[in-house]
């Protein structure tokens, strides 16, 4: 996907301006907290307050500000260079496939999968590879289209932003492509997961141009997140060691 040139105001890039980290509001925000703390990032207190109307937060580091945006928009802010780095689900990266984004680190949070599901009553009755077209409801039209195109099936995607699980029973689509974690949403709506398209976790993402123009500072942030991640993986072992007195 071609994007307009980042920094469309034409102002000269300011190498001393704070780095902007875009984080997704919603469920990932809480999971991200311990990792940010380990990376030494302490945003202003109201950052975690979902009722706060503020969108940009200073941190204890004057060289870093955090912006809190919708999960899909994290990728867009970073791809356009409006944010230098971000935290984003692999589902969102798969959907947009922005070449401007480099995703160097799997943060291991926000674990789920992107799957095909259909009504339990009709699942397994038909062979999808024999179809030439299929109606799919999804928040991920590109992922759904690519998934079916790979098997020669044309997906006609009804783009929904939520409540996908209603689509088959209300005649909007035959199947859905959506995120599944525990499976309880599917179960509560009479659907079963028939294919896993991809496993999903959240990634640290960076804008490739920022990595070229401010290599030391951006690489420094990647290294800090990498170290924080290694710490959080090591911690259970050291905590167990502390408990057993070893
Ligand atoms: N059930 C889930 N379990 C674990 N991770 C999930 C789950 N649903 C979504 N995610 C991950 O969290 C990210 C954000 O999802 P979340 O549900 O918080 O936002 P959203 O509802 O998609 O956002 P919006 O409010 O913009 O519609 C997703 O992109 C995905 O990577
Ligand atoms: O397998 P489960 O554990 O039930 O999780 C899956 C649900 O989680 C996500 O929805 P979310 O809770 O984000 O609500 P949304 O429809 O507002 O996106 C996803 O769209 C599923 O509906």
- Whether the CB of 42 sits within 6 Å of ligand 2: no
- Whether the CB of 104 sits within 6 Å of ligand 2: no
- Whether the CB of 34 sits within 6 Å of ligand 2: no
For residue 236, the model assigns a pLDDT of: 54
Residue among 26, 69, 86, 182 whose CB has most ligand 1 atoms within 8 A, to mutate? 26
| Beta-strand pair 64-69/133-138 | unpaired
For residue 68, the model assigns a pLDDT of: 96
Distance from residue 180's CA to the centre of ligand 2 (Å)? 7
Mind giving me the DSSP string for the chain? Answer: ---PPSSTT-PPP-TTSPEEEEEESSHHHHHHHHHHHHTT--B-GGGG-TT----EEEBSSTTEEEEEE-HHHHHHHHHTTSSSEEEEEHHHHHHH--TTEEEEEE---S-EEEEEEEETTTTTSS-GGG-SEEEEEES-HHHHHHHHHTTT-EEEEEE-SS-GGGTTTTTS-SEEEEEESSSHHHHHTTEEEEEEEEEE-EEEEEEHHHHHHSHHHHHHHHHHHHHHHHHHHHHHHHHHHHHHT-
**Measured between alpha carbons, how far is residue 69 from residues 24, 76, 78, 90, 160 in Å?**
5, 10, 11, 16, 19
Q: Which residues line ligand 1 (CB under 6 A)?
A: 24, 26-28, 70-72, 89, 91-92, 110-112, 161, 179, 181, 200, 202
Distance from residue 48's CA to the centre of ligand 2 (Å)? 21
The radius of gyration of the chain from alpha carbons, rounded to an integer in Å, stands at 21
Distance from residue 24's CA to the centre of ligand 1 (Å)? 9
Distance from residue 95's CA to the centre of ligand 2 (Å)? 17
| Secondary structure of 27-38 in HEC code, one letter for each residue | HHHHHHHHHHHH
Q: Which ligand is nearest to the CA of 185?
A: 2
For residue 122, the model assigns a pLDDT of: 83
What ipTM did this prediction achieve?
0.96
For residue 128, the model assigns a pLDDT of: 67
Distance CA 48, CA 39 (A): 17
- Lookup result for tokens 């990498």: 226
Q: pLDDT (tens digit, 0 to 9) for every residue of the chain, 246 residues total?
A: 555 545 544 344 677 899 999 999 999 999 999 999 999 999 998 998 888 999 999 999 999 999 999 999 999 999 999 999 999 999 999 999 999 999 999 999 999 999 999 999 888 777 766 779 999 999 999 999 999 999 999 999 999 999 999 999 999 999 999 999 999 999 999 999 999 999 999 999 999 999 999 999 999 999 999 999 998 888 754 444 444 433
Residues whose CB falls within 8 Å of the CB of residue 147, separated by 6 or more in sequence, listed in order: 116, 155, 177, 197
Distance from residue 72's CA to the centre of ligand 1 (Å)? 9
Structural tokens at position 18: 């704070």
- Whether the CB of 161 sits within 6 Å of ligand 2: no
Distance from residue 71's CA to the centre of ligand 1 (Å)? 7
Distance CA 104, CA 3 (A): 21
Distance CA 31, CA 202 (A): 10
Q: Rounded to 5 degrees, what are φ and ψ at 137?
A: -100, 130
For residue 3, the model assigns a pLDDT of: 53
């Amino acid at each position: 996907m071609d994007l307009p040139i980042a920094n469309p105001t034409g102002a000269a890039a300011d190498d001393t301006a704070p780095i902007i980290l875009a984080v997704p509001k919603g469920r990932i925000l809480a999971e991200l907290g311990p990792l940010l703390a380990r990376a030494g990032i302490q945003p202003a207190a109201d950052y975690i307050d979902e009722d706060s109307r503020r969108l940009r937060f200073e941190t204890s580091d004057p060289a870093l500000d955090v912006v809190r945006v919708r999960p899909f928009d994290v990728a867009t802010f970073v791809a356009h260079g409006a944010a230098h780095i971000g935290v984003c689900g692999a589902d969102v990266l798969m959907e947009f496939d922005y070449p401007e984004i480099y995703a160097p680190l799997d943060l291991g949070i926000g674990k789920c999968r992107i799957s095909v599901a259909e009504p339990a009553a009709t699942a397994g009755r038909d062979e999808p590879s024999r179809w030439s077209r299929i109606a799919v409801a999804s928040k991920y039209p590109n992922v759904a289209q690519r998934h079916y195109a790979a098997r020669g099936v044309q997906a006609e995607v009804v783009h929904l932003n939520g409540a996908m699980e209603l689509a088959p029973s209300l005649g909007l689509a035959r199947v859905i492509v959506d995120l599944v974690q525990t499976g309880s949403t599917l179960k509560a709506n009479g659907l079963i997961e028939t294919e896993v398209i991809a496993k999903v976790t959240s990634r640290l993402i960076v804008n490739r141009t920022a990595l070229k123009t401010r290599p030391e500072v951006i690489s420094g942030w990647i290294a800090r997140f990498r170290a924080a991640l290694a710490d959080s993986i090591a911690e259970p072992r050291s905590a167990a060691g502390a408990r057993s007195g070893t």
